Structure 1
């Protein structure tokens, strides 16, 4: 199997809450030196066929991808799936069930924002939605920036769209066990996405990693767009402690919004097993 140094296995397209098409992402990945790429839209694999074709056209190796929303210890956790069969019926059904809660949540978010003096947010958010089944907080945030309610996306989330703020609506996502087993049952590897982002105590984080491993999870994102250099080392240590492979992904959404571009992350720390080595037979060569 080829050795991939610049693998970017976490990004989003218009099929969820990104602003670029799969084809535009593939061009951007190639221009930034990516060698192995995966499109990981939220709870959605509708863009996989286009992404794989676009990767081939750019000469990129490709792994199928998805990012599944999970509720664990009352926190939303994201589990990335890589290298699965997109035609797997159980995975498709599970993702459809997970997507189903987004519509009612969006309406509740709009109702709360209206009570806070911000009318028309649902219709405004819809203008940014490529896939109506996947309307999300990001789409509402773009509307609030466009209408100058807030200066930027960060201010939106601080003031309106996090727990305890007007505009936040809770939702119970998939179970951790279900998400991992949908991915592994479809022949893929499950990966804990950007673990430093979760507001867990040390005990809760240990429980997450332990349960994830018990259910068949195989990897953790060590180098990702929201981690600091010290967090790379922290989660390299967690990968070794739990016997997990290491993944690497920018979590790129948009040229205007994302602080880390596709393909611009540092390399994985040494002495880790890259997750793509577990998926050698699943990598689609150009």
Structure 2
């Protein structure tokens, strides 16, 4: 069984509509796919319908924007209630923070001679409730300033670059608490990728497990080297937590993250589903969705 637990549609910063993403997953030989758009569950209904039509497993999820000591950290959250009041309010603030900074990003880019308008950015953000830096990158590709998203981030949008503007994000411990209160399963995304490695050391991961109930970490990911994966598997084994693997697929928006390039071991997936049952039982006020597993 081939299981990919981290993908994005155009409901956040992926480029494929949800139904197209599910069709591509089936074509890629996946048996189960999780939709984990940034800070939104907007694609879940369409994803469930497409999964049933295609006969492919579907796990609803969200990738939540977090920040620890000023460093970006992402939390993958599965089978949670997105309408749980405290969580829904935090996600709303995060989405609005992303969108509200677009004029500032455009102004900063203009100030260093980069041609761009807010309308150009909004034209790239079709179907999403949250406009972010990837849509700015897509606008820069469309107007010929850069060749792809990677170049846009490297030159203009990454932390410390001319077009970077910070936005509100949730402290990871609080995010994990909210996900569990909403009946879901919290997994840290690519803990040693991008900038997360600066704060996601073994002691921090252990604290999140012990103090907040972190269920696992995403290990097999394109941002992790072979030695990093080996070390992270040792940490997961030592802490007794779930180890996942995923593509972090964004359609045409991210190079070298093809669907199924990394997958989750079926035994680890079964562990995730067991934790989901336990957390749902412990959160009787949450309206927890079910995975579709044909």
Query: Do both share a fold (TM > 0.5)?
Result: yes
2:268 matches 1:274: yes
- Counterpart in 2 of 1:158? 154
2:107 matches 1:141: no
1: distance between equivalents of 2:9 and 2:264?
A: 24
- Counterpart in 1 of 2:225? 228
Local SS of the residue matching 1:197: coil
Q: Using a 3 Å threshold, how does the CA distance of structure 1 residues 202 and 155 change in structure 2: closer, same or farther?
A: closer
Q: Contact conserved, 1:221 with 1:247, CA < 8 A, in 2?
A: yes
1: distance between equivalents of 2:200 and 2:179?
A: 23
Q: 1:85 aligns with which of 81, 84, 89?
A: 81
Alignment of structure 1 residues 153-232 onto 2, 5 Å: 153-199=149-195, 205-213=201-209, 214-232=211-229
By how many angstroms is 1:81 displaced? 0.2
- Counterpart in 1 of 2:102? 106
2:257 matches 1:260: yes
By how many angstroms is 1:94 displaced? 2.4
Q: Contact conserved, 1:94 with 1:182, CA < 8 A, in 2?
A: no
In structure 1, stretches of 5+ residues that fail to align are none
- Counterpart in 2 of 1:285? 293
Local SS of the residue matching 1:77: strand
Q: Using a 3 Å threshold, how does the CA distance of structure 1 residues 229 and 23 change in structure 2: closer, same or farther?
A: same
- Counterpart in 2 of 1:31? 27
Local SS of the residue matching 1:160: helix
Local SS of the residue matching 2:157: coil
- Counterpart in 1 of 2:282? none
2: distance between equivalents of 1:200 and 1:193?
A: 9
2: distance between equivalents of 1:126 and 1:164?
A: 23
Q: Contact conserved, 2:10 with 2:17, CA < 8 A, in 1?
A: yes
By how many angstroms is 1:91 displaced? 2.9
2: distance between equivalents of 1:235 and 1:148?
A: 40
- Counterpart in 2 of 1:125? 121
In structure 2, stretches of 5+ residues that fail to align are 278-289
Local SS of the residue matching 1:222: strand
Local SS of the residue matching 1:95: helix
Q: Using a 3 Å threshold, how does the CA distance of structure 1 residues 114 and 98 change in structure 2: closer, same or farther?
A: same
Local SS of the residue matching 2:11: coil
